Every structure is written in structure tokens, then in C-alpha cells.
Amino acid sequence: MRLLVLGDSLSFHGPRTAHPVDEPRLWSHVAAAVLGGTADLHAGLGWTARHAWTAVRTDPRVWASVRTADALVLGIGGMDSLPSPLPTAVRELIPVLRPRSLRARARRAYRDVHASAVRLTGGRPTALSAADTVACLEQCRLAVTTLRPHAPVVLLLPSVHRSALYAGVHTAREGHVAAMRAWAESSGVATVDVASLVTEHVLLGRGNPDGIHWGWPAHRAVGEAVAALLRAEQPGVPTGTADPGSPQGEALSWEDAVPRS
């Protein structure tokens, strides 16, 4: 089985730092190994569901993964629920500031202000609203399953955190979980309750010191849970691009799957 995984930084950070996407201890590869397959991981730091949808629409590396995907795993949506009192664009523009001294000052100022702003606003607004998260998840699901109609879809529900950057605040998490769960139920998407697997690990400080990312035991628990769901789905197609005329080959091109926008 070949997994197409769309993820945020939880999908490639370990107990101390970020890792290359082929690190075998990451949850996506744990899941694939349990299933006797492989995983194609496409992810980015701070990715929301909107970032993932943009990648599905515009990144030819994702397009290549879709062509051979036996299952879609949506490891996104958790970042969406985090407080974002300052516009996401502010953070994303810091790396392009010049000269280097200005960039460093801007980064320090962002970190210094962020936690105070989160406390002041009570954790709202979030990086992406629940409604926008669900809309982008559906776009990702529809684009992939148009080309791979028999591929099961699994969604990871938002994790928990104890990050000082967010002042320990996660006010909107439950609302995002409810909206994502409702969408999943209406769309035939299986869900992994990530919080039930990692809460003790994260809140007791057994994961990454940043209070957000996980250690390897949590990656293994999440990966095994994803694998269990996919094994239950029993996808009826072989690994690799479908033969001409098979149900998995009904969509003729990427343009059939991705609407113009």
C-alpha cells in the first residue's frame, strides 16, 4: 500500500528537531511499515489545511504522488485551531526581510509579542477558521479521490499543546474538532483521535521541549492507529497507477480533478 500524506510540522518533527521526510520513525512511515507499504509525505512548517490545498493544486510533486496513492491521510487541520492574533502573513514574510539584522529583530519581536497577544485575545482568532479548514479538507479529498476513487481517506483530528509561544492557550480546539469530525462523518472519512493518543505524552513534557511536537513513542502510537484504520478499510486496488479501464483510472488527467481557482 502506498500512502499519500499531507501534514503539518507534527508530521516531520521529532523529540528535538525537524527531520527529513524519509525518517522511518515519523508516524506516516510507521503506518506504512505496519501495512507493508510506503508513504509519500508532503508537509510544511505551520501548514494549515489551506496550505495543503494549495500544494494539491500547484505542486507537481504532490500530483505525482496522487497517481500512485492507495490511500490519502490528512494530517492537517491542527495548526488551524491554534491562536493567531497576528496575521499568518506576518510570520511568513519574516524570512524574506533584508538585511539579516532586520530579519532577526522582526523574529524576536514576533516571538515576544505573540504570547502576550494570545493571552489578550483569549486565543482568537485562529490560524484558520473551522469552516475554512473543512472547506479546504473537502477540496483535498475531492481532488485526490477524483483520480483515485477507491482510495480510503483518514483524517487526524487536532492534537494538544503546552507551548509557551501560544501561552498554553487552545481555546478553539474543541470547535475545530467538532467541525472536522462532522465533515468526516458526512464524507465517509475515518478519523484518528490524536489527543487520546498523545495528551499525556505532550502535557507531561515527554515530547519535544517546544510543547507542540512529539517524541518517537507518540509518533509510533499515531502511526499504528492510522494503520489500523486503513487495514479496516481494506482498499480494493493494488499499489501503483491503475491499469487503463479500471475504476481507479477513470479520471484522465490532473485537470479533471483540480478546479481552476
pLDDT digits (tens, 9 = 90+) for 44-71: 999 999 999 999 999 999 999 999 999 9
The Cβ of residue 89 has, within 10 Å, a number of other Cβ atoms equal to 7
Give the pTM. Answer: 0.87
> d(Cα 247, Cα 145) in Å, to the nearest integer?
11
DSSP-derived 3-state class of residue 13:
strand
DSSP assignment letter at 221: H
> d(Cα 82, Cα 126) in Å, to the nearest integer?
5
pLDDT of residue 193 exceeding 70, the answer is yes
Q: Which residue has the cell 500512485?
A: 68
The Cβ of residue 243 has, within 10 Å, a number of other Cβ atoms equal to 9
> d(Cα 6, Cα 144) in Å, to the nearest integer?
11
> d(Cα 102, Cα 83) in Å, to the nearest integer?
25
pLDDT band, very low/low/confident/very high, at 112 (cuts 50, 70, 90): confident
- For domain 2-83+126-257, give its CATH number from 3.90.226.10, 3.40.50.1110, 3.40.190.10, 3.40.50.450: 3.40.50.1110
Domain boundaries, the chain: 2-83+126-257, 85-121
> d(Cα 164, Cα 142) in Å, to the nearest integer?
37
> d(Cα 29, Cα 11) in Å, to the nearest integer?
10
pLDDT band, very low/low/confident/very high, at 260 (cuts 50, 70, 90): low
pLDDT of residue 236 exceeding 80, the answer is no
Give the burial string for 195-204 (b: 16+ CB within 10 Å, else e).
Answer: eebbeebbee
DSSP-derived 3-state class of residue 168:
coil
Contact 45, 94 (CB under 8 A): no
Residues 6+ positions from 160 with CB-CB distance below 8 Å: 170, 173, 195, 198, 199, 202, 203
> d(Cα 28, Cα 106) in Å, to the nearest integer?
34
> d(Cα 67, Cα 74) in Å, to the nearest integer?
17
- Higher-confidence position of 183 and 236: 183
pLDDT band, very low/low/confident/very high, at 92 (cuts 50, 70, 90): confident
Stated as kind and residue range, the H or E segment containing 5 is: strand 2-7
Q: What percent of the chain has pLDDT over 90?
A: 81
Please state the length of the chain: 261
